[in-house]
Amino acid sequence: MDSTGWHLQRWDRLTCDALHAIYVLRQRVFVVEQRCAYLDADGHDPRAWHLWHDPGTGLDACARLFAPGVKYPEASVGRVVTAPEVRGTGLGRRLVAQSLLALESIAGEVPVRISAQAHLERFYKSFGFVTEGSAYMEDDIPHLAMVRPSGGVVTL
C-alpha cells in the first residue's frame, strides 16, 4: 500500500479480507445497483492483478488488470468501480489513472484494451482510449471496444 491508500496485488497474494471487500463492492454495484444478474466471479480473477483504494475507512474503489496476452493480446483493465457514496469526487479518474500506471509498472508501455460501458465513452476517451467499431451487448448492457495505444502520458 502507498500513503494515499492504493494497493496492488497479485491474486495469489490477496488476503481473504481484501478479496471479500473487492467482491462486496463489485457485486453491490455491478449486480445490485445496475440490476444485472450476471456471474461476477467469472473465472478471470486468478489471472489478474487487483488494484484497490482504501483510505483507512474501507475499500471504496477497485479494478482488475491483465498483462498483455492474458485476456487479450493487449493489456486490459476491467471491473472498474467506485462506491456510490464517493462518486463525483474524482476517485474514478484516479482509479483509471492508477490502473494505467500499474499496468506500466507490470508490463511496460503497452497498448490497453477495454470493454467499456458505452455511456462512459467520453470518460475513457479522456485517457487516450479510442473506440473500435460499434456498440455490442454484454450482460444486457451496451458496451464498446476501446484501445489505448502505447506511450500515452498518464497524469494523476
CA 29 to chain centre: 13
Q: Which of residues 20-39 bind ligand COA (CB under 6 A)?
A: 29
88 belongs to the binding site for ligand COA (CB under 6 A):
yes
Q: Segment contacting ligand COA (CB under 6 A): 2-10, 11-19, 47-55, 79-87?
A: 79-87
Q: Are 142 and 136 in contact (CB under 8 A)?
A: yes
* Residue from 4, 55, 87, 136 in contact with ligand COA (CB under 6 A): 87
Identity (one letter) of the amino acid at 5? G
* Residue from 38, 69, 119, 140 in contact with ligand COA (CB under 6 A): 119
Cα separations in angstroms, 29 against 14, 24, 36: 21, 9, 9
Cα separations in angstroms, 59 against 17, 22, 23, 139: 10, 7, 10, 25
82 belongs to the binding site for ligand COA (CB under 6 A):
yes
Residues that bind ligand COA (CB under 6 A): 29, 80-82, 86-93, 116-117, 119-120, 123
